[in-house]
Structure 1
């Protein structure tokens, strides 16, 4: 634990909520120093935990990093110990009422409170969230240093001054995930200092040009200095998760970002290593609309999802009608439907997050366990079945789903089933934002298509990848197919002899995910290295695709696959290689712009 040589104005309340491993409830921290002796760090702690066994007690510690709501509660996520309450105040019980001294809540904002049962050995995580609103900003780095920052600022609520100091600075958490783009240096982990600058507003293509030359043409001070970071950011050294979190007072960014270009500049000494422009993270909202008009007995209504930022939980709203009362379950399929009238193209499997490994044989009965004990897309498991209902209306918090990143449920299909697991209705979760779509079709040894879709609001918006393989020549499944986007262009009659090198507009070094672990950001990889970001492909046998077309369908979300700007993959070549790492090419097709959907 480092010592804070600054003090924010008092952060009055933090609450950690738990809904995992059969444990539900919360632990709240209320600063009472302002009522007694300001600055003494006096805090009341109240725990209210359900699902405990008689006499169950917990080791309780605050760890340095926030764990995202949908992530597993593991050490490489929450990082090192920041504060050990057990050592100073003993074990925590389910209904504790404690008063602690020398605890400053402003040092704990959005760090992770971890409870470890000494009886059952279960471990659960909860982010220590302020009750005030929080605004999220992001910066993506693509040259010199790769990765991203999430900057979280506690907003000053009307009538309260708990978030902001007299000098106008506000409680700010900075979550970094940074890696050098020039290869791995295991022996010399590096620390980078940082500064925030404001300058005249620039269009995104101009900002990207500065990022690609690492802002060196702008000098060490490329604008008006807003803030000089107190704590440096580490670069991942190839052994651990790249995640790192610090808290410090930073000027309010809410009125600056968007009006000016706010640059984050990283330094080694006084040498500029990388820079990026700060953007406000926009909340994501999507809906699946059931309005099939084939029959008055069909499912009608809609399901909506909403998420403010990657660090906030998903809000799920359900408003559906089942005229025959024959619905049983509701969930998110692994794939989108290709035709919601016939519900074709579905996998008939709930989407499962790769971050949460489950033994499906041990899944509890519906609504009898906490959400982490069910597949990510099993909404009826997490929140209850539809049995006997003609109408379902509910708004719940889904702590194991996300609309951001690799495990996003966006684009997948919401499906209603009857008691025999027959599909009664389906509709894709669509966010209705303007998008650009591109496609690469192939029809030689392997037949199918690659479909890419990206919102048009930013070069760094996440791109959805849908790969369809409709036909293969194999009599059995084949493994280890590498797949990439290459920089060259080929025509439809090409034998793919010279598609060029991997498309790498930002000059990243070839990267293997096993060098860093699961925390490595997509921007560390070459833009065209789809295998590095998403793993090799397994192609099903021809007979398997014929019996179940969904075996030849895959859906991914990629945060480093632009369809816009200088890094666009449009007009580049999609290549699928032979099995078991064979360099030969099974597929070679040009990616062509298909449409701009507004």
Structure 2
């Protein structure tokens, strides 16, 4: 009996003939086993037949229609591969399967066929079908976990779908607290709140694709692999009861890392001895992946995520959905979904008969015939017989909305063998379409775009009192992956021993940038109590506040420099708990901060868009928002910093803050009025006059605020989220279920008198048609009152603009003005925004901003508008400025 491994290779055909040919050779043998299952891709047109076939040197052509014809040079090592058995081809998959052993074909050595092409020829020796020959790449997937001081890993290895999976299990410090352990259906989501990530709502039950009845499985450790659920690891190998530290190696013939039933991307759970779920983690991907995303906004909310190895466009692709209804409708199942050939531009069409018609037909890069017997031959069991985008027939339907209170979005996780995310047949730039279950109309659609990992870098320190140099970088692929922490620091002298991430960002132009007052406390989104913390560097990362980096990884200890890379399983760059854009500060003992800097988004592939809201009246302060926009138009989350105070020093709680559809009418307050309050005399001899002035100021302010806020319109809700039925589902962990403008529901109400607060918003666009630019921000009275205390427009920052002035007596409406200018420029209104400067005597002064990414080139539109202004062609509209004087 041979010892060692097999080499397994395959050729996947998708031309006039489809199917695959598998080659398998033991590394110590000269014989190769060949298995073929080939069929006509246009069923019914031909009878079963057998064909000659050869090996060819590689071709550089990638187009499916021409690559086979470009194969000319046969590969003939030692002239021993000429007399190969004929390959049978049937009408349907499994009709013409064949297997044999071949002594003249090798997968190892200098004369191997790896990297060559297989070509099937007709009677004239013309190549009619072909495919590249490649090996199955050995896969190593790993779970790393920690919780309550316990830690360890499970490593899974498999050479090909035809080999067993080898498990290396390593647990530490269990202290007789663990029992069963399993693979579960869905990946562990990023933690947002105190809710249990490992709950059934989040990750479901055991991975059991073959529907094994657990009650019929033998006792743990007594049966064969196939007698247990695929994911029931402790059933196959025994439980962990009574264990502390434990290490073992197992073989499993029923735990695939390849193809449809793969465990990669799913979750791993360890249970307590009482059966409850203790901790969980994800089975990571074996190598770097290409990640594509599609986001749904109407009438379906949620997203699809696709992942595939960067090195092989023919490798497995995992598909993950989370879907809900924007109107809170009940759950629906078995929706047909497809990949369509074009981008989605009409996903928000209210007419369901027209919605998503822009996406075109099913994505079919190999030009398969979709008529005749296609509907009968394209099935889940015969996926090679389907167009690439005909995903429902290949993989099954999807569900929308679970109905569970804690996890209303319904999850679906699949793995498929042929859905390329890169290369000539990539689905990037196409769209995913979901059909309704009644009339099979197109219900919802979304463009599929490239997702780039988040990277946060602290490039320099602000207000530093140290010799510290270098940078720290955090990188996270998706919310399902643990971030990598990379440190490259010098100057770690005896004055610096600890580092931590704080709740707020540091404001560079502030004299208190690095004060604890400005930065607030160490970032602790899951409220870990200080009294429960292990000693520094002695516990597992999950036992410390997220921002306590020295607690998790130890003090610097005067080491001078630090060159480390480590995974942090209690850190995130996505979502409300993210450390992105927050401040990091260094100190000796957490007390006296010696410098700080922000972990800023590394936007080498994206443009930064910013907005600012300056509040006026009895409430002063500002709100700043920023977001990053990629070249294809998709965006990151939006970061929001709000720092608002009462001019009279009031400390009141639970103020709602929201965005409304229209701009404010007109800011009646001018600079002189605003300054009046600050110059009031507070001396004892002027109490009566002081009180009178305060009363007058309040009355004037109240009148001005109510007038300015009178036309803000409705709560900004561009995606028609139902704010009545089931709106309680809107919260920090489910922001897509909220109206865009409902900031206090997405985050929390605001307490006046406290420091500023920092938030991450997944549903607050600054870029595009649904941008909040030019709309109004409203701050309400305490205890969730309905009285508007102040309002202001949301204005762009760092965008090109033209300043214009009009007589104050001239009738004026911002929305009408923008629409008139957009019409004259022949562009969309969302590319323009108006900032209304404070009234100056008889003049109204405006800034007209031009908005767009690099491709749109807003500077070009500014120049065009300036040319229109110089021509003063009144036929274009009544928007020409008066150039009045404010004196």
Instruction: Please indicate the TM-score interval, normalised by the length of the shorter structure.
Output: 0.7 to 0.9
Contact 1:173–1:245 (Cα < 8 Å) also in 2: no
1:319–1:572 CA distance, 2 compared to 1 (3 A) = same
Partner deviation per Cα, 1:413-470 (whole Å, 9 max, x = no partner): 1100122610101011122422111111112222111111111323542111111114
Residue 320 (structure 1) aligned with residue 489 (structure 2): yes
CA distance in 1 between counterparts of 2:277 and 2:355 reads 50
- Deviation string 1:44-80 (CA, Å, 9 cap, x unpaired) is 3221122233x66530111111014656542132222
Deviation at 1:333, TM superposition (A): 0.8
Structure 1 position 262 matched with structure 2 position 430: yes
Match of 1:467 in 2: 642
Query: CA 1:300 to 1:217, structure 2 compared with 1: closer, same or farther past 3 Å?
Result: closer
- The 10-residue stretch of structure 1 (189-198 or 426-435) with the greater mean CA deviation from structure 2: 189-198
Give the SS at the match of 1:77: helix
Corresponding residue of 1:194? 337
Q: In the TM superposition, what is the alpha-carbon distance from 1:377 to its structure 2 partner?
A: 0.8
1:343 aligns with 2:514: yes
1:402 to 572, 577, 600: 572
Report which stretch shifted further, 116-125 or 368-377: 116-125
| Matched residue, 2:221 | none
Could you list the per-position Cα deviations for residues 497-542 of structure 1 after superposition, in whole angstroms to 9, with x for gaps in the alignment? 33110112222221688744879643332211212221322333xx
Unaligned runs of 5+ in 1: 1-5, 158-163, 541-550
> Which residue of structure 1 aligns with residue 625 of structure 2?
452
**1:357-506 correspondence to structure 2 within 5 Å:** 357-419=527-589, 421-433=591-603, 434-457=607-630, 458-471=633-646, 473=648, 475-479=650-654, 481-490=655-664, 491-493=666-668, 494-495=705-706, 496-506=709-719
What is the match of residue 379 of structure 2?
Answer: none
Unmatched runs of 5 consecutive residues or more in structure 2: 1-92, 94-134, 208-230, 365-387, 669-704, 801-853, 855-887
CA contact (8 A) 1:511 1:524 kept: no
Show CA shifts across 1:224-260 (max 9, x none). Answer: 3432232333222253412513223141122369896
Q: Which residue of 1 aligns with 2:188?
A: 67
The question of whether the paired residues in 2 share the 8 Å contact of 1:336 and 1:413 is answered with yes
SS at match of 2:601: coil
Deviations 1:291-313 (A, max 9, x none): 56876x44333222122222222
1:152 Cα offset (Å): 1.8
In the TM superposition, residue 399 of structure 1 has moved relative to its aligned partner by 1.6
2:270 maps to which of 88, 100, 115: 115
User: Superposed, which structure 2 residues align to 1:271-282 within 5 Å?
Assistant: 271-282=441-452
Distance 1:514 1:144, change over 3 A: closer
> TM-score, normalized by length of structure 1?
0.84
Instruction: Give distance in 2, aligned partners of 1:259 and 1:174.
Output: 13
Deviation by residue 1:153-195 (Cα, 9 ceiling, x = unmatched): 24455xxxxxx7xxx4x4222222211112343xx54442211
Q: Structure 1 residue 177 and structure 2 residue 342: aligned?
A: no
Q: Deviations over 1:65-122 (max 9, x none)?
A: 1014656542132222223233344214621222333332332111111011328977
Distance in 1 between residues matched to 2:422 and 2:348, nearest whole Å: 22
Paired residue secondary structure (1:216): coil
State which drifts further: 570-579 or 132-141: 132-141
Stretch deviating more after TM superposition (121-130 or 326-335): 121-130
Q: What's the Cα RMSD here? A: 3.1
Q: Does 1:248 align with 2:415?
A: yes
Show the 5 A alignment for 1:555-566: 555-566=758-769
Contact (CA 8 Å) 2:576, 2:732: kept in 1 or not? no
Query: Of Structure 1 and Structure 2, which has the larger fraction of its residues in strand?
Result: 1
Secondary structure (helix, strand or coil) at the match of 1:539 reads coil
- The answer for the alignment partner of 1:290 in structure 2 is 460
Deviations 1:373-430 (A, max 9, x none): 1111110011111233433332221122122222221111110012261010101112
Other structure's SS at 1:523 match: helix
Deviation of the 1:14 alpha carbon: 2.6
Residue of structure 2 in register with 1:23 after alignment: 150
Instruction: Single out whichever of 323-332 and 63-72 deviates more from structure 2.
Output: 63-72
- Farther off after superposition, 436-445 or 244-253: 244-253
Question: Using the alignment, how far apart are the partners of 2:757 and 2:726 within structure 1?
Answer: 20
Please state whether the residue corresponding to 1:103 is helix, strand or coil: coil
**Which deviates further from its counterpart, 141-150 or 524-533?**
524-533
Which of the pair has more CA radius of gyration? Answer: 2
Give the direction of change, closer, same or farther, for the CA distance of 1:234–1:359 in structure 2 (3 Å limit): farther
CA distance in 1 between partners of 2:479 and 2:239 (Å):
31
Compared with structure 1, are the counterparts of its residues 231 and 596 closer, same or farther at alpha carbon in structure 2 (3 Å cutoff)?
farther
TM-score, reference length from structure 2: 0.58
**Offset at 1:219?**
7.2
Indicate conservation of the 8 Å contact 2:641/2:759, yes or no: yes
Correspondent of 1:582 among 755, 774, 785: 785
Q: How many residues align?
A: 554
| Cα shift at 1:563 | 1.2
**Structure 2 counterpart SS, 1:531:** helix
Match of 1:546 in 2: none
Deviation at 1:129, TM superposition (A): 2.1
Aligned partner (choices 405, 424, 431) of residue 239 of structure 1 = 405
Moved more, 519-528 or 435-444: 519-528
1:160 alignment partner in structure 2: none
